[in-house]
Amino acid sequence: MDVNFDYVLAREAQLMFKRAPGFEPINGDLKRWKGKVRGGDNNWIEVEIVIPETFPNEPPIVKVLTPVEHSYVDSSTGRVNLRILSEWRPEYHVYQVVNSLKGLFVRIPPKIVKTAPPVTPPSEDVELLRQRIRHLEDQVRQLQRMLHEKDEEIARLRGLIAVHNVPEKETEVKTILLPSDEKERKTLELESEKIAVEDLIKSLNEKFESGDIQPSDYYKLYKRYRKELYLINKKLEELRKGE
């Protein structure tokens, strides 16, 4: 990894710790994050986010690890099709992807697929069990060596984080690395909110057309979301007029 990409990862880590609580880097690898998102009925969906080395020019990869049925989740790969990913801009951040995913699962809760219980293996003779134990012990030793290597990598990454003044814990976060220009920062935040509200309106229309929502509830929510969208567009227009 080059220095610029290390800086990008450090910046995204700072934002994730601050704005996406519950997500942590996997084994200290800032390119891979894992966390849980509520999926309705008090179900929690495990999610993995992978940041490619082409980031931020290319969007992160979002996968659902929990087996689910969902119109926006590929059942074979677990990859999630989010609007923010298909309309990705280099100015966006990973925490915004997490927020979009949370909003999607609130609007359209995924259905958890129940897996079959494990099959109990037949009884084995003692010698075969001993061979399996020896094999498992070898695997444990290999894993211990791998963990040692990962500990060294974690120490290296922590050094990088310290260089860039990126705290390791959410409680230590004091500054957020966003665009230095206040107008540009507000514009990015408003555009992110606009995408979320537009998705809400689209989902609401789909539910109304399929008869999944009462007309009275539909018109109440539609009026509310349209008002929010109007206010966001008005703020964006005011910001752009000042350019």
Please say if the pLDDT value at position 201 is more than 90: no
Q: Which contacts qualify for 70-73: CB closer than 8 Å, 24 or more apart?
A: 70/108, 70/110, 70/111, 71/108, 72/104, 72/108, 73/110
Neighbouring residues of 117: CB distance < 8 A, sequence distance ≥ 6: none
Query: What is the pLDDT confidence band of residue 175, given thresholds at 50, 70 and 90?
Result: very low
Strand, helix or coil for residue 20: coil
Please say if the pLDDT value at position 221 is more than 70: yes
Please say if the pLDDT value at position 97 is more than 90: yes
Architecture of domain 1-114+124-177: Roll (3.10)
Please say if the pLDDT value at position 151 is more than 90: no
Strand, helix or coil for residue 73: strand
The pLDDT value given to residue 149: 60
Report which of residues 134 and 61 the model is more confident about: 61
Count Cβ neighbours within 10 Å for each residue of 37-53 and write b for 16 or more, e otherwise: bebeeebebebbbebee
Q: What percent of the chain has pLDDT over 90?
A: 40
As a whole number, the mean pLDDT across the chain is: 81
The pLDDT value given to residue 110: 93
Whether 18 contacts 176, CB under 8 Å: yes
Residue 112 dihedral angles phi and psi, to the nearest 5°: -75, 130
- d(Cα 19, Cα 170) in Å, to the nearest integer? 9
Whole-prediction pTM: 0.52
**91 token code pair:** 């100015």
Give residue-wise pLDDT tens across range 113-141: 887 555 555 555 777 777 777 777 777 67
**Most confident of the ranges 144-148, 171-175, 192-196, 228-232:** 228-232
Residue corresponding to tokens 């989010």: 82
Whether 203 contacts 108, CB under 8 Å: yes
**27 token code pair:** 């084994």
Which of 139-143, 197-201, 239-243 is predicted least confidently?
A: 139-143
Polymer length of the chain = 243
The pLDDT value given to residue 64: 96
Q: What are the helix and strand counts (H, E) for the chain?
A: 6, 6
Please say if the pLDDT value at position 204 is more than 60: yes
Determine how many CB atoms are found less than 10 A away from the CB of residue 204: 19
Please say if the pLDDT value at position 21 is more than 60: yes
The pLDDT value given to residue 172: 44
Query: What is the pLDDT confidence band of residue 3, given thresholds at 50, 70 and 90?
Result: low
Per-domain residue ranges for the chain?
1-114+124-177, 179-243
- d(Cα 39, Cα 69) in Å, to the nearest integer? 11
Query: What is the pLDDT confidence band of residue 173, given thresholds at 50, 70 and 90?
Result: very low
Please say if the pLDDT value at position 229 is more than 60: yes
Single out the residue of 93, 90, 84 nearest to residue 11, CA to CA: 93
- d(Cα 158, Cα 201) in Å, to the nearest integer? 42
